[in-house]
């Protein structure tokens, strides 16, 4: 059974950091693009990052570029989202999602598009507040 499980959320002060994890089971990351989305209260869901593990291709939305970093651990079949310099406007439920199999450079080619995902996690809350 395919599953994506997010962890690592919580409450953090402005300027702080958190690392979210997305643990995949039932499939291997190698040929799937792993995406992070977020949805703030009263706002539409926003795609913020994408990683194609096979070639390390990435995408970041302008809202997080330079502050967030996506990475993977093949041994753990897990993708991470390191979030630094957090702001109150980063408060949202964060979801990871997978689409695949896809080819090289998927994220840089399609990362900014709202494409259908094959698998979704249940989401995890990140609250940035003093």
69/79 Cα distance (integer angstroms) = 11
Lowest-pLDDT range of 26-35, 36-45, 78-87:
26-35
Whether the Cβ atoms of residue 85 and residue 15 lie closer than 8 Å to each other: yes
3-state secondary structure of 55: coil
Question: What is the distance, to the nearest Å, from the Cα of residue 78 to the centroid of all Cα atoms in its chain?
Answer: 11
Picking from 59, 65, 63, 1, the residue whose alpha carbon sits closest to that of residue 35 is 59
Give the model's pLDDT for residue 11. 98
Q: How high is the pLDDT of residue 111?
A: 87
- What would the mean pLDDT of 36-49 be, rounded to a whole number? 96
- pLDDT-derived band at 29, boundaries 50, 70, 90: confident
pLDDT at 7 exceeding the cut of 90: yes
Instruction: Name the band, by pLDDT with cuts 50, 70 and 90, for residue 20.
Output: very high
Q: Which pairing describes strands 10-12 and 124-128: parallel, antiparallel, or unpaired?
A: parallel
Render pLDDT for 52-107 as a digit per residue (tens, 0 to 9).
988 899 999 999 999 999 999 989 999 999 999 999 999 999 999 999 999 999 99
Q: What is the mean pLDDT of the chain?
A: 95
Position 27 pLDDT exceeds 90 = no
pLDDT at residue 28 tops 90: no
Q: φ, ψ for residue 9 (rounded to 5)?
A: -75, 180
CA distance 1 to 83: 29
Helix (H, G, I), strand (E, B) or coil at 106: helix
Q: Which helix (H) or strand (E) holds 109?
A: helix 106-110
Q: Using the structure block, give the residue that is written with the tokens 């896809």.
A: 102
């Amino acid at each position: 059974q395919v599953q994506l499980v997010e962890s690592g959320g919580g409450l953090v002060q402005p300027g702080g950091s958190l690392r979210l994890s997305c643990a995949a089971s039932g499939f291997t990351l190698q040929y799937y693009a792993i995406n992070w989305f977020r949805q703030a209260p009263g706002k539409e869901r926003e795609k913020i990052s994408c990683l194609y593990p096979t070639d390390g291709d990435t995408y970041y939305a302008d809202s997080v570029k330079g502050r967030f970093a996506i990475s993977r651990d093949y041994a753990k079949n897990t993708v991470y989202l390191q979030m630094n310099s957090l702001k109150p406007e980063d408060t949202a439920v964060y979801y990871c999602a997978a689409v695949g199999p896809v080819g090289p450079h998927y994220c840089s080619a399609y990362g900014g598009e709202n494409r259908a995902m094959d698998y979704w996690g249940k989401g995890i809350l990140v609250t940035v507040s003093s």
